[in-house]
Amino acid sequence: MKTNYSFFEDRYVPLQEANVNIMNQTFMYGLGVFEGIRGYWNAEHQQVYLFRLREHIERMFDSMKIMHLSCKYNVDQVCEIICELVRKNGANTDIYVRPAVYSNTSKITPCLANVESGFCILTLPFGDYVDTSGGLKVMVSAWRRIEDNAIPARAKIIGSYVNTALAKTDAALAGMDDCIMLSESGHVAEGSAMNLFMVKNGTLITTPTTENILEGITRGTVLEMAQRELNLPVCARTIDRSELYTADELFFCGTGAQIAPIAQVDGRQIGATSAGPVSALVRDTYIEICRGNRAAYSKWLTPVYESGTSVVPLAQPVQLTA
């Protein structure tokens, strides 16, 4: 059987050997941060493209600042370690890469002062996290999205995914595919673990970062792509729950979810089809970019079977309307 390697305690080791003690603070209290990165296999190019690798690692370093964690490697070094791990595993399919920085201290206290930080990476073959071909049936969750002054949603904190788990589990038990979460103010925040877009009268609308959302890299990608590639007006503003029911289209976006159209919210049909024309266009264009079939967006891709490739964001930030 082929060995699946991970990076753990400064070495590439078989995944089954990458273990922590049950007294580890991260096991006991969730005191760590992580990132989720997709790699897309292009059979014609015989290449795995890691999508927006550097941006993901930069966000992980921002999460570390919030959580008083550190990493002995810099951003460039982490990117290269990830590429080497993917090469070592000989990936020739779509993959998921999960780097994490965590408290590697074993003591009975949730305090992060003077802790030793650990660093690890795993990679796995990865298909669809949710069905992106049709339309999802979702509900508005009774669980509210965690507030920035409680557990900052802009950081990917391991322990904060209890919030996600409670909401997603209720949705699953109710026979739904997923859910939409509101902020404490009662406005739309995001999905259980993905950002949300609404299409209304030809405009692509998403919730602002002030609504306790993760500042999604896929969200930013969609905003840029919509203006540059699809000539769609975009807007970041507060969205009320009732607006969901009258939207022309809705879709989730995220590294795991990719672009996932929504067909129903709380039993109400959204639009005329399971995947509206804008959602389908965004979905298909996004996947084309991720697979390396749109040369104009090659700067967003890191090919792992080449050396010396860096990820540079496209110039000129997107202008959002109020």
How many helical (H) and strand (E) elements, i.e. helices and strands, does the chain have?
A: 7, 17
145 Cβ contact partners less than 8 Å away, ≥ 6 residues apart: 153, 163, 181, 182, 183, 184, 189, 190, 211, 212, 213
C-beta separation of 180 from 191 below 8 A: yes
Note whether 78 and 136 are within 8 A (CB).
no
Domains in the chain: how many in total?
A: 2
Q: pLDDT value at position 319?
A: 39
Helix H or strand E encompassing 222: helix 217-228
Same domain assignment for residues 83 and 213: no
pLDDT of residue 307: 47
User: 199-235 burial, b if ≥16 CB within 10 A, otherwise e?
Assistant: beeeebbbbeeebbbbebbbbbbbbbbbbebeebebe
Record the pTM. 0.92
- Assess whether 223 and 174 both reside in one domain: yes
Is residue 74 included in any domain, yes or no?
yes
How much is the pLDDT for 30? 97
Instruction: Give per-10-residue mean pLDDT for the chain (322 aa).
Output: 92 97 96 98 96 98 98 98 97 97 95 95 91 90 96 96 98 98 96 97 95 96 93 96 97 96 96 86 96 94 72 35 36
On whether residue 313 sits in a domain, the answer given is no
pLDDT for the residue 315: 33
Are 44 and 150 within one domain? no
- pLDDT of res. 275: 86
Residues 119 and 201 in one domain: no
**pLDDT at residue number 23:** 95
Examine the fold and report which residue of 125, 145, 173 is the final residue of a domain before the chain moves on: 125
- Give domain status of residue 320, yes or no: no
The CATH number assigned to the domain holding 197 equals 3.20.10.10
Give residue 193's domain range.
Answer: 136-300
Phi-psi region for residue 307, left (φ > 0), alpha (ψ -120 to 50) or beta? beta
Residues 103 and 244 in one domain: no
Same domain, 198 and 286: yes
Contact between 183 and 196 under an 8 Å Cβ cutoff? The reply is: no
- Residue 31's pLDDT is 97
Longest dimension (CA), the chain: 56
